[in-house]
Structure 1
């Protein structure tokens, strides 16, 4: 089921900003682990062992000067069915354990614009990415009119997510609760969108 004609019409329309703003606001309400020590990293990786599907995202400190390129990501977020993990990789180096997970072909890592995220992460560590699924590629092939995370959430999940913390300082040593939840929400929504697209028969296994 990959043709647009086989997808219910309600998923094929475009969403305006006004349409999205009328939808209920949702955020991730499950447990979140902020990982900033080696002990926390070891525990988080152990807890994620055997997970077949992870929501994935990164956050990078924004650049406001014209012509200046952004630095590498400050955070990497991964979400399981039970918990979201926010790794502060600007404090705790991107280690072999996380790189091994990103290179594991048995684990699906799914998000939006994942190529850019991977390029940013490869500035910090050498790894060969495996089994990353870009949700935007799937919706584009299916002729859906929604490709960004916020638009896809509105279309496929029926709610809006906040983008208010998007341009905050992600390289801070101590993140605010708002930042932590924003970061976790993006990874959680990515995982939920993958499941929704799979339910529509749009995920090629």
Structure 2
């Protein structure tokens, strides 16, 4: 497939880029600087500004799917959604956050008083964006939330999927960027969560 990847130079974006290429997909890698984009086969590097919806929509047009892998505080939800919808791309996948996941019925991780203040604003913006997607008509989206600890690690291919509840395993709630990328590309290749949030963890 032909995939547009917004935020291809970030920690998660780089892993998504490599996973997509390894599986034979063609990637339009969008980042603020071409120098930051990995020089991989079947890659079209594009310098893009997500604050310019008309230009971004033109870049996204003609792809089978678009993945957004950017910090929620780094973009205007109206402008990005406008670009995605105007482009006519049939599928929109979002690298989400863990803050909006439930730790008990009706209680989100972000609502825990021990939730780190350094991440609270970004987590709140991610939760608001998820709510916005749920209220947007005519858009086939999927929002993949990582576990609470989300960092570089191994590509094991062994993990669990969930829906709206935080996944906790023997070593706590965690997932590597590498295994997160597998789960995201799996969803592109075999969609199971249309217009829904899901989560991945060990």
**How high is the TM-score relative to the length of structure 2?**
0.31
**Which structure is higher in strand share?**
2
Larger Rg: 1
Return the TM-score normalized by structure 1. 0.31
